[in-house]
Structure 1
């Protein structure tokens, strides 16, 4: 399974000492976008705060102490890392969530424990490999084998939810529910029902999160773009509209985010993001 290189969701790349994404095998394309595997080793007495802007989806995560299902989020968050550790997560497609949770909206912005001893044991064993590259490949393969055996076949609603997610993720011109409804030939109300059932957040929240992922990526990767240009390219009414969304979700304005990136580039501080 090859490593996936993507800038999406990585708010501060210079804070990533060890983080890998591994593509899911083709047979799991309806269930998992990719596996994400961070490692950290923080000196005694110090901590590393990881600011995250996750994708609008759920994640199944294996860590040394167990397996959890992290529900969809409506805001940015952070986690303080200490000591030495790792995680192996799977960014789930909407069709996969039904196998693990009856009501994804019920775990919005929260985490629940999943009883999956076989998955936990296989991934922990893989992560104990002496070579880090071997551990990453083996852990992703073990996770994939478990998922292929455990996740139930995608139903019609799950596949429709996948199609809606793909449209939003791939077309930055989609900014309204009626655009989605027309493209998949269903009513706007049906779009809302499907995303509620299989993602756990409203369709407008999914659109907004993907556009903010794109905005952050463009601000980070192209310093020649003005905030107004980024806003126009992503369908925002104006600079102020993007700034309002950015501030509400991330807690800072786009200009402040850009200044933080510059400060990071000039600093030798090393940090690690734990996010899918």
Structure 2
């Protein structure tokens, strides 16, 4: 297991502002779990002498198991940003499953979790309150990871080749920034659009159209996070938008503000 923290934003909006308030580390899963688990993540903060801070995140197409006081649940990927208040002192532990990697545990469409987060007992054999007492009381990140892996390893389902196919498709969407339409994905992978939509509903929980949109807007936010001069018209075209108003509309729908407003927020942080 790697203890090294990886530093890409992975959907965290305005990371420069956030890193002043909390410490985020990400840790690789063991080889046995790596097929299903992308990484573990841990957030710690001590802001008792500061004003509350709202951290916004554009989600990845991954299921997350989140251990936090009173709210330990399993969440499907969201089609829009979510916000988390940082105040006082606290710690949250999470498992980010690979795209499609939670379906073999669940065995029903991941989309069924969109408005109904799942309790952890059926997956881990332990109640959320037990996990909170055990894991969140630990000071060492690696102890937290090892404890969670001991719970997960006996529950491993059989490997599912569709998870590999889902990850190839999503890696393609993430890497090929000019991809803007589901038809382009279908053509590349020689898969009918209806079959692709069913596959994403079952394994990912959100549609391929939304996955494309989330990655394009995440790319846009990361470009502005670098605090470099940005030509929004050129950026919109580079990300596959045919006109700037469409880009602005999508950005505001997912991120909650216009690109100009987001750029000013980054500059002021």
Q: Given the two structures, how large is their TM-score scaled by the length of structure 1?
A: 0.84
The 1:111–1:224 alpha-carbon spacing in structure 2 relative to 1, beyond 3 Å, is: same
Q: For each residue in 1:86-140, what CA deviation from the matched residue of structure 2 results, as whole angstroms up to 9, or x when unmatched?
A: 111111121323313622112215523211355965785455344xxxx112222
Match of 2:81 in 1: 76
Instruction: Please tell me the root mean square deviation across aligned C-alpha atoms, in Å.
Output: 2.5
Which of 5, 11, 14 is the aligned partner of 2:13?
A: 11
User: Is residue 96 of structure 1 aligned with residue 83 of structure 2?
Assistant: no
Match of 2:241 in 1: 236
Q: For each residue in 1:217-260, what CA deviation from the matched residue of structure 2 results, as whole angstroms up to 9, or x when unmatched?
A: 01111512311222122212132222111011112111110000
Distance 2:92 2:125 in 1: 16
- Are the aligned partners of 2:77 and 2:114 in contact in 1 as well (CA < 8 Å)? yes
Match of 1:108 in 2: 114
Q: For each residue in 1:69-92, what CA deviation from the matched residue of structure 2 results, as whole angstroms up to 9, or x when unmatched?
A: 011211112232443221111111
- Are the aligned partners of 1:96 and 1:151 in contact in 2 as well (CA < 8 Å)? no
Structure 1 SS opposite 2:236:
helix
Match of 1:211 in 2: 216
Which of 77, 87, 101 is the aligned partner of 2:92?
A: 87
Match of 2:170 in 1: 165
Distance 1:125 1:95 in 2: 25
Structure 1 residue ranges without an equivalent (≥5): 265-276
Match of 1:137 in 2: 142
- Are the aligned partners of 1:11 and 1:51 in contact in 2 as well (CA < 8 Å)? yes
Distance 1:151 1:215 in 2: 37
Which structure exhibits the higher relative contact order, with contacts defined as CA atoms closer than 8 Å and separated by 6 or more residues? Answer: 1
Distance 2:80 2:68 in 1: 23
Distance 1:26 1:5 in 2: 21
Q: Given the two structures, how large is their TM-score scaled by the length of structure 2?
A: 0.85
Match of 1:43 in 2: 48
Distance 2:167 2:45 in 1: 32
Structure 2 residue ranges without an equivalent (≥5): none
Structure 2 SS opposite 1:98:
helix
